[in-house]
Amino acid sequence: MATTINKTALLPHSAKTMFDLVADIASYPEFLPGCSGAQIIEQTENVVVGKLDLSKAGVTQSFVTRNTNTPHTSITLALEDGPFESLGGEWRFDALSDEACRVSLDLTFQLRSGLLKMAASRLFESVANDMVDAMVKRANQLQKEKAS
């Protein structure tokens, strides 16, 4: 059975700022709880293939997604490789003004059966649920650093 995660936040940051932050996969280990590694495998103008390593409570899982970017509007994720039967989703960045936006993350995933399925499912669900909050904290932190 597939798990679906839907998170939305209204932010005092531009859609461009939030898009750029989410699109910067390589920086995820610096601020995303549970993300122990990130690697860009392939990159073209609007497509990034990236690998994330997630670790929590002694469980580590890696997966690769193909991210199709529509600059400052959306990032669509599709599974390339990993412990999932299926994984897909989308980040959306809706500008509300020059300095405010709505960020939404919709993910649907199903893990392959196996011994670590329950632990891996909890790991991914935990990290996915924390992603929007972590992006908000990171944007606020970067804004403070820029202001000082």
20 pLDDT more than 70: yes
Q: What is the pLDDT of residue 88?
A: 96
- Structural domains for the chain: 3-147 (3.30.530.20)
Per-residue pLDDT tens for 60-96? 889 999 999 999 999 999 999 988 889 999 999 999 9
Query: What's the whole-model pTM score?
Result: 0.89
Q: What is the pLDDT of residue 125?
A: 77
- DSSP for the chain reads --EEEEEEEEESS-HHHHHHHHH-GGGHHHHSTTEEEEEEEEE-SSEEEEEEEEEETTEEEEEEEEEEEETTTEEEEEEEESSEEEEEEEEEEEEEETTEEEEEEEEEEEEPPSTTHHHHHHHHHHHHHHHHHHHHHHHHHHHHHHH-
Per-residue pLDDT tens for 33-55? 989 999 999 999 999 999 999 98
